[in-house]
């Protein structure tokens, strides 16, 4: 079967699909990933076909609007700004997804930001499936992303989730109608689409661990939590000598990185991180990332890309923005996490890690100071329960096979829609 994964977003929104795609390819499927051009090397390194989607998430994050989005306010405001940016680009993105699908596909797998691909699959008469990295569909059991990880109780959680879905549908109503026309389908209101998903039991796989977010009991049939999908790692990758020498020269350091976030204040962030590591009395490995961090000291080095699968188990704790993929990697490594959430789903994951006991209370980016970060690092390392709980979760995650469960669900799908 020819499978096309539509992966819209930044590094953390694409990387897990390289691992999932590699597992599908090993099972005999032909797999392509459609994503922004900058991710072509990662996709190709996993042995997958690459199909380009328009846009560059790093350039978009560096614009004035992108900087406002990353200004440090999580929850509804951050999600609203992100969706507004996505809606502005949706016509071009829809054309790109349609062009990618027309290159050949028997099944479309849709990331959370590629949901409009459902219309493309319907128009082409082929199956589709959601492959989400976050819980974004209505439930009372999980705090909605719009509340930044704060639970409003079962009724409140579900109400906010449903209202968010209505707002998103309205935001994309015009481009949804336009896309449906292009693929030969009549207009359909967002509420009708949501009912259709439920009636058809449209399948949605969630690539996170049930040990971290259990499957909600109020989800309908067809919605599964499989376990994490791990990014493909080139087996030929070797760490730079400078990094291995640093790791060998002293006790395990604390990792600090902010992934694909580019809030535009790298000078301040560098000074905060440098001072916090010194105040906490720890060594540090800082990953430059899109925030352009750069700190060099006798007990701190800055590195470029390095697989978290390799690096994180060699650290004493990890400090990061709590994107879905980085959060998963920290929990997999069995070391405490200090969350510094910035935008969209990051406050949810940061709150989740703390509620599970695998790290101290997060420090929101908008409140980040050297003193607060240093105190959080000290708590992560000094409180034995954080390390113990992180190791317990790592043990449970280690026996899960998220990609394998996803493969089994995909293989159960009918060949074509009816």
Range of the domain at 55: 2-228+400-411
Tokens for 411, please give them: 């293989």
pLDDT band at 71 (very low <50, low <70, confident <90, very high): low
Asked if residue 236 belongs to a domain, the reply is no
Asked if residue 407 belongs to a domain, the reply is yes
d(CA 185, CA 206): 28
Residue 67: the pLDDT is: 56
Asked if residue 417 belongs to a domain, the reply is no
Could you tell me if 119 and 255 lie in one domain?
Answer: no
Query: Taking 80 as the threshold, does the pLDDT of residue 64 lie above it?
Result: no
Tokens for 76, please give them: 């509804």
pLDDT tens digits, one per residue of 312-321: 999 999 999 9
pLDDT band at 292 (very low <50, low <70, confident <90, very high): confident
Residue 252: the pLDDT is: 98
Residue 62: the pLDDT is: 57
Alpha-helix runs per DSSP H in 54-209: 57-61, 64-69, 76-102, 117-124, 153-171, 173-182, 190-200
> Across all residues in the chain, what is the average pLDDT?
91
Element (H, E) at 318: strand 317-320
Asked if residue 106 belongs to a domain, the reply is yes
Tokens for 43, please give them: 């996709």
Could you tell me if 102 and 220 lie in one domain?
Answer: yes
d(CA 57, CA 62): 9
Query: Taking 50 as the threshold, does the pLDDT of residue 418 lie above it?
Result: no
Mean predicted confidence (pLDDT) in 390-418: 89
Mean predicted confidence (pLDDT) in 232-259: 95
Could you tell me if 201 and 315 lie in one domain?
Answer: no
Residue 169: the pLDDT is: 79
Could you tell me if 171 and 270 lie in one domain?
Answer: no
Mean predicted confidence (pLDDT) in 396-404: 98
Asked if residue 23 belongs to a domain, the reply is yes
Asked if residue 392 belongs to a domain, the reply is yes
Query: Taking 60 as the threshold, does the pLDDT of residue 74 lie above it?
Result: no
Number of domains in the chain: 2
CATH at 214: 3.40.50.2000
Could you tell me if 180 and 318 lie in one domain?
Answer: no
Query: Taking 50 as the threshold, does the pLDDT of residue 250 lie above it?
Result: yes
Asked if residue 416 belongs to a domain, the reply is no
Could you tell me if 224 and 291 lie in one domain?
Answer: no
Could you tell me if 69 and 175 lie in one domain?
Answer: yes
Region of poorest pLDDT, from 11-25, 149-163, 404-418? 404-418
Could you tell me if 104 and 166 lie in one domain?
Answer: yes
Could you tell me if 351 and 321 lie in one domain?
Answer: yes
Query: Taking 70 as the threshold, does the pLDDT of residue 68 lie above it?
Result: no
Contact predicate 209/396, CB 8 Å: yes
Element (H, E) at 369: none
Mean predicted confidence (pLDDT) in 177-187: 94
Mean predicted confidence (pLDDT) in 113-133: 96
pLDDT tens digits, one per residue of 353-376: 999 999 999 999 989 999 999 999
d(CA 44, CA 41): 5
Query: Taking 50 as the threshold, does the pLDDT of residue 143 lie above it?
Result: yes
Could you tell me if 407 and 378 lie in one domain?
Answer: no
Work out the burial of residue 167: count CB atoms within 10 Å of its CB; fewer than 13 is exposed, 13-18 middle, 19 or more buried: middle
d(CA 378, CA 118): 47
pLDDT band at 56 (very low <50, low <70, confident <90, very high): confident
Percent of the chain whose predicted confidence (pLDDT) is above 70: 91
Tokens for 404, please give them: 């394998």
pLDDT tens digits, one per residue of 263-282: 678 889 999 999 999 999 99
Query: Taking 70 as the threshold, does the pLDDT of residue 416 lie above it?
Result: no
d(CA 309, CA 327): 12
Could you tell me if 32 and 181 lie in one domain?
Answer: yes
Could you tell me if 224 and 254 lie in one domain?
Answer: no
d(CA 336, CA 389): 8
């Amino acid at each position: 079967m020819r499978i096309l994964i539509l992966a819209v977003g930044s590094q953390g929104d694409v990387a897990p699909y390289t691992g999932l795609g590699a597992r599908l390819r090993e099972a005999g499927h032909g797999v392509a990933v459609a994503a922004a051009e900058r991710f072509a090397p990662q996709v190709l390194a996993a042995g997958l076909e690459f199909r380009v989607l328009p846009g560059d998430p790093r350039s978009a994050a560096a614009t004035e609007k992108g900087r406002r989005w990353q200004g440090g306010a999580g929850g509804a405001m951050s999600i609203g700004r992100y969706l507004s940016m996505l809606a502005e680009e949706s016509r071009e993105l829809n054309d790109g997804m349609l062009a990618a699908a027309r290159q050949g596909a028997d099944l479309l797998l849709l990331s959370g930001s590629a949901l409009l691909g459902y219309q493309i699959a319907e128009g082409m008469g082929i199956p589709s499936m959601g492959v989400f990295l976050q819980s974004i569909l209505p439930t009372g059991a999980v705090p909605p992303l719009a509340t930044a990880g704060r639970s409003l109780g079962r009724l409140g959680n579900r109400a906010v989730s449903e209202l968010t879905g209505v707002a998103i549908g309205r935001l994309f109503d015009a481009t949804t109608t336009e896309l449906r026309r292009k693929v030969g389908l009549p207009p359909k209101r967002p509420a009708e689409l949501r009912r259709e998903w439920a009636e058809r039991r449209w399948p949605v796989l969630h690539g996170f661990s049930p040990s971290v977010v259990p499957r909600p009991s109020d989800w309908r049939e067809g919605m599964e939590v499989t376990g994490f999908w791990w990014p493909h790692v080139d087996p030929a990758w070797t760490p730079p000598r400078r990094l291995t020498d640093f790791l060998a020269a002293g006790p395990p350091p604390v990792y600090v990185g902010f992934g694909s976030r580019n809030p535009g204040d790298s000078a301040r962030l560098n000074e905060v991180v440098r001072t916090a590591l010194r105040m906490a009395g720890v060594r540090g490995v800082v990953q430059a990332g899109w925030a352009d961090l750069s700190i060099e000291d006798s007990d701190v080095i800055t590195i470029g890309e390095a697989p978290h699968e390799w690096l994180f188990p060699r650290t004493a704790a990890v400090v990061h923005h709590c994107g879905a993929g980085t959060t998963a990697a920290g929990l997999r490594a069995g070391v405490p996490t200090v969350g510094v959430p910035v935008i969209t789903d990051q406050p949810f994951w940061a709150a989740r890690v703390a509620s599970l006991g695998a790290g101290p209370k997060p420090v929101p980016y908008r409140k980040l100071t050297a003193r607060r970060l240093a105190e959080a690092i000290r708590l992560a390392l000094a409180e034995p329960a954080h390390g113990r709980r992180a190791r317990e979760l790592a043990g449970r995650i280690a026996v899960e096979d998220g990609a394998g469960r996803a493969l089994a669900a995909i293989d159960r799908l009918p060949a074509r829609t009816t």
